[in-house]
Amino acid sequence: MVFFQIISSILVLFVLILLARYIWGMFFDTNYRPVEWENARKKGLISKELIRLERDYPDKVRFFNWWFQIERLKRDGVPGDFAELGVYKGESARIIHLMDPSRKFHLYDTFEGFREEDLKDETGEAATYTSRNFADTSLELVRRNIGGDENVVFHPGYFPRSVVSGQDDEDRRPLTADCRLALANLDADLYLPTKAGLEYFYPLLSPGGVIIVHDYNHKWPGIIKAVDEFMTTIPETMVMVPDMEGSVMIVKGK
Ligand SMILES: C[S@@+](CC[C@H](N)C(=O)[O-])C[C@H]1O[C@@H](n2cnc3c(N)ncnc32)[C@H](O)[C@@H]1O
């Protein structure tokens, strides 16, 4: 009996320590917050919602890389919309949208997970994926998560076919040659959509605009292949981002 009391007291103590550390980290642990973010926050330039999302977002480097890039685009007056390929439930899309809600934001996803035609030749981590992965979402759920703002434009369907389908439907409006992009966030996990995304979005980028590709690491050989192949066709050099999954960035030359 005494033994069980001691064990349960130790467990309770352990949980209390974890909770105290979590709460302390939420409010006082500012080491990982860049000084420019803190300055903007103190001046009231960052929305409460974005401050809350930053606290909960596990990959701080990825989060602040988006923020610094978007602040640079504002400061340098780089014109154009934002786009994301690989939206899932809209977590990254919500963050990017809140960082500059004044930009039109084009979201590309099947909103029902991967397609067999993309999966069949994959290796590495992606070879363990099936069409059931990332299928637990929907356009309606993403619309709710993002807040249903009129600047958010949905392009549902298989990418890249979704860019040309349903031209009469405003929601599926394809980007045209006169539509410029300032930022494209690519997070589709697989070789074929990533390659198609680079080929589609890069020519639409304004000078100074940026493409950010997630998962450039050994677990995702399809992403490395797509990026490396594409880099041989353009004059820019890619920049590695030391976030948790290793993003890379391409900033379009002026
Ligand atoms: C890793 S999830 C995106 C996660 C999201 N960016 C986030 O951070 O919350 C990858 C997404 O890519 C989408 N996707 C992959 N290949 C696609 C294709 N060819 N066309 C459309 N969507 C695709 C999947 O449906 C899935 O939702």
Structure tokens at 102: 């004044």
Range name among 29-38, 119-128, 130-139, 154-163 with the lowest pLDDT average: 29-38
Which letter, b or e, does each residue of 181-202 get, where b requires 16 or more Cβ atoms within 10 Å of its Cβ? Answer: bbbbbbbbbbbbbbbbbbebbb
What are 182's two structure tokens? 């300032």
Rounded to 5 degrees, what are φ and ψ at 175?
-70, 145
81-85: strand order across its sheet: 152-156, 105-109, 81-85, 181-186, 205-213, 247-251, 239-241
Please give the pLDDT value at position 20: 87
* CA of residue 237 to ligand 1 center, whole Å: 25
Q: Which atom of ligand 1 is nearest to the CA of 159?
A: 20
Q: Report pLDDT digits (tens) over 3-28.
A: 888 899 999 999 999 898 877 766 66
Q: How far is the CA of 196 from the centre of ligand 1 (A)?
A: 13
| Protein residue with its CA nearest to atom 24 in ligand 1 | 113
Which residues' Cβ are closer than 6 Å to ligand 1? Answer: 86-88, 91-92, 108-110, 113-115, 118, 134, 158-159, 187-190, 193
pLDDT of residue 4: 82
Residue 173: the pLDDT is 54
Q: What is the pLDDT of residue 194?
A: 98
162 vs 185 pLDDT, higher one? 185
Q: Which of 187, 200, 214 to mutate to test the pocket of ligand 1 (most atoms within 8 A of CB)?
A: 187
Instruction: Identify which of 36, 150, 142, 60 has the alpha carbon closest to the alpha carbon of residue 101.
Output: 150
The answer to whether residues 248 and 238 touch, using CB atoms and an 8 Å cutoff, is yes
DSSP codes joined into one string, 77-140: T---EEEEE--TTSHHHHHHHHH-TTS-EEEEE-SS---HHHHTT--GGGGG--TTTT-S--HH
| CA separation for the pair 143, 153 (Å, rounded) | 10
Look over the chain and give the mean of its residue pLDDT values, rounded to a whole number: 91
- Mean pLDDT along residues 73-77: 98
pTM: 0.88
In this predicted structure, the answer to whether residue 246 has a pLDDT above a threshold of 70 is yes
Q: How much is the pLDDT for 15?
A: 92
In a 13 Å sphere around the CA of 75, the CA atoms on its Cβ side amount to 6
Task: For strands 239-241 and 247-251, give the pairing.
Answer: antiparallel
Fill in the DSSP letter of residue 162.
G
Using CB atoms within 10 Å of the CB of residue 234, give its burial: 0 to 12 exposed, 13 to 18 middle, 19+ buried: middle
Question: Considering the chain, what percentage of its residues have pLDDT values greater than 70?
Answer: 91
Residue 176 has a pLDDT of: 66
Mean pLDDT of 216-227: 97
Please, is 208 exposed, middle or buried when counting C-beta atoms within 10 Å of its C-beta (0-12, 13-18, 19+)? middle
pLDDT digits (tens, 9 = 90+) for 151-179: 999 999 999 988 875 444 444 455 666 67
* Residue 167, pLDDT score: 41
Rounded mean pLDDT, 192-215: 97
Report the distance separating Cα 131 and Cα 100, nearest Å.
33
Question: Can you tell me whether residue 191 is helix, strand or coil?
Answer: helix
CA of 72 to the centre of ligand 1 (A): 26
Chain segment 29-42, per-residue pLDDT in tens? 656 899 999 999 99
Give residue 204's pLDDT.
94
Say if residue 160 is preceded by a cis peptide, omega within 30 of 0: yes
